[in-house]
Each structure stands twice: as C-alpha cells, then as structure tokens.
Amino acid sequence: MYPFDYHRCASAEEAKALLAELGDGRLLAGGQSLLPMMKLRFVMTGNVIDLRDCEELRGIDIGSGAVTIGAMTRHVDVASSKELATALPVLAELAGGIGDPLVRAQGTMGGSIANNDPAADYPAACLGLGATILTTAGEIAADDFFLGVFETALAEGELVTGVRYPVPAAAAYMKFRHPASRFALAGVFVARAMDGLRIAVTGAGSQGVFRWHEAEAALTADFAPEALDGAELDTSDLNSDIHADADYRGHLVRVMAARAVRKILAANR
C-alpha cells in the first residue's frame, strides 16, 4: 500500500465537500474492492474518505411499487432483510450470493455499483429491474449509469446515495460462477415489469453489464425457455479468457437465461 491520509465523515454532503477540497480523495465503503487494489499498489491515492459513519446512507425502505436501499447498506443486510424477502426476494437472494460471508459482512451496494466490476451482481439487478441510481447530484437511470468496465456515469466528486428498484411482477437471477474467483462467469437477470420485460447480463460482456435486447424481444413474444433459442447473441462482444472463451460464455448466458425463465414460470405455477 502507498501511504495515505485517512478521513471520516458523517454524511454524503460532508464527503462531497471533502472530496472537492482534497482533490485526490478516494471514497471507502466496505473496502472489499478498493483495499485489495490498494494493497497490490494498483491504486494510489493521497486520501481515503471512509463513509462508515454515514448512517443516512444505510437502510432499506419498502415503498409502494419500489424499494429504496441506501448506498452503505451491506450485502448481508440486504440478504437477511425480512421485508425484502417479501417485497423483492430476488434482490435478497442476489445479495446473499455475493462472494463469501466475510465479503458480505463488509461490502456495500453503493460500493458495488460505483465500482461497476464487469462481473459484479448488483449492476445486473439495477439494469434488469430498470432501477434509478440516486446520487448527490440527482438521479441517473440504470440504463445510463453503467458505461463500461469499471466505468459509470458518476461525475467527479459525485456520490451514490442509494438505489430505487421498481418492484417487478416476477424476476429471477441465475449465475454461473467463475471457477476460481466465484464472481459471475455469466449472470442473467430476467424481470417481468409493468413497462416490459428486461434481461441484464453480467460477467460475460467485454464492456461489462448489458441488456440482451434480442432475448427481451423473444421472451416478450413468448415467455418460454425455448423462445431464447431464436434470440441472437453476438459473441464477438463477449469476454474470452482461459476460464471461458466467448463461445462458452455465450452458451452460459443462454443456459442461465433459460434457467431464470424456468424459475419464474415455476414460481408462478
């Protein structure tokens, strides 16, 4: 780790002000992505601003038709929330499948989406549910938020404060884990919402999370796993590495999508 100064603040506004003042500050949420990068000296920053005291950024609010979750809410809190288990079970399940108990006890939703790891789970939920990202500067639709690998629409000095998830009629998330890292090799979020059907794919795309529009069209026409067979998927946009080449990733996307559809159908039966 390179040396740095450590700061703490009690609110998002305070953190924003400190960021502006320091110039090269880095926000610290659960530290599950940032700290490993710092330890490996991949990230160098003169100042770390710890958000742990920002109570206002923590919490799960079940509204009518939507659930709002604070940025500093930990994965374990989302996974174990009784209210969510009824209101939006797919999200609780997704959070419960992130990393391991140590990671879930520290990692936060805001950190995950601000980080936008191309294999992270929350971005798939945000995009799949058509969520709205709440920030210190306003609101950003998930469709406009995730720009690429580790890239988001957040402006310099802007903080994620929370996410508002519309509650869908039905949804399911299926992921096939990377055999080594256990992140998603291919994770597919399928949601049937008021304003239509959405499918978000994480882990597979070379540009990070994306919507699989062809499959959305196919399933809108016929909500059945077989309908996916005809949906095109451009594998040239998919990642290739020693664990999974684009062919295999593309195949897994199809399989996970079909399994998510089956899960929704089974739940409705």
Partner 1 sequence: MREFGIGQSLPRTEDLRLVRGTGRYTDDIAPAGSARMYVLRSQHAFARIGGIAIDAALEVPGVLAILTGADATADGLGGFTSMVRRTGPDGQPNFEPPFAVIARDVTRYVGEPVAVIVAETLNAAKDAAELIEVDYEAQPCVADLALADAPGAPLVWEQCPGNLCVLTEVGDKSATDDAFARAAHVAQVDFRISRVAVSTMEPRTAVAEWSEADQRFTLHASIQNPHMSREQLAGVLGLPSHRIRAVALDVGGGFGLKGVPHPELALVMWAARRVGRPVRWTSERSEGFLADCHARDQIVHAELALDEEARFLGLRVRVKANFGAYLSLAGVHCALGNIGGLSGVYVLPAIHGEIRGLFTHTVPIGPYRGAGRPEASMMIERVIDVAARDLGMDPAELRRRNLIPADRMPYDTGFVFTYDSGDFPASQAKVQEISDWNGFERRRAGAWARGRLRGIGMAHVIEIAAGQLDEMGAIEVDTSGAIAVTTGMQNHGQGHETMYRQLIAEFMHVPPDKVSVRDCDTDQIPYGFGTGGSRSAVVAGFLLETLASKVIAKGKQVAAIMLEVEPDQIDYREGAVFAARDSNRSATLAEVARFAHQPMHLPPGFEGGLSHRQMTRLAGPTFPNGCHVCEVEIDPETGHLDFVGYWVSEDVGKAINPMIVKGQVHGGVVQGLGQALGEYIHYDEEGQLATGSFMDYQMPRALDMPAIGIVSSDTPSRNNPLGIKGCGEGGTVGALPAAMNAIADALGPLGITNFDMPATPQRLWRAIRDAGGMPHAMAAE
Contacts with partner 1 by CB under 8 A lie at: 1-3, 40-41, 176, 179-182, 185, 242-245, 248, 251-252, 255
Q: Which is nearer to partner 1, 242 or 266 (CB)?
A: 242
Is 16 in contact with 39 (CB distance < 8 Å)? no
What whole-number distance in Å separates Cα of residue 213 and Cα of residue 58? 33
- Size of the chain, expressed as the number of residues it contains: 269
Binds 42: which of ligand FAD, partner 1, none (CB < 5-8 Å by kind): none
Shortest distance in whole angstroms from residue 212 CB to ligand FAD: 19
Give the separation between CA 218 and CA 166, rounded to whole angstroms: 23
Q: Which of 105, 88, 140 is nearest to 30 (CA)?
A: 105
Residues 153-192 that bind ligand FAD (CB under 6 A): 159-160, 182-183
Minimum CB–partner distance for residue 110 and ligand FAD (Å): 3
Shortest CB 239 distance to partner 1, Å: 12
Q: Would you say 112 and 120 are in contact if contact means Cβ atoms under 8 Å apart?
A: yes
DSSP states along 1-28 = ----EEEE-SSHHHHHHHHHHHSSEEEE
Query: Closest separation between CB of residue 132 and ligand FAD, Å?
Result: 15
Please count the other Cβ atoms lying within 10 Å of the Cβ belonging to residue 43.
17
**Which of partner 1, ligand FAD, none sits in contact with 26, Cβ below 5 to 8 A by type?**
ligand FAD
Tokens of 159: 């903080």
**Site for ligand FAD (CB under 6 A): which residue of 62, 103, 170, 265?**
103
Contact positions vs ligand FAD (CB under 6 A): 26-34, 36, 71, 98-99, 103, 106-108, 110-112, 114-115, 117, 120-122, 159-160, 182-183
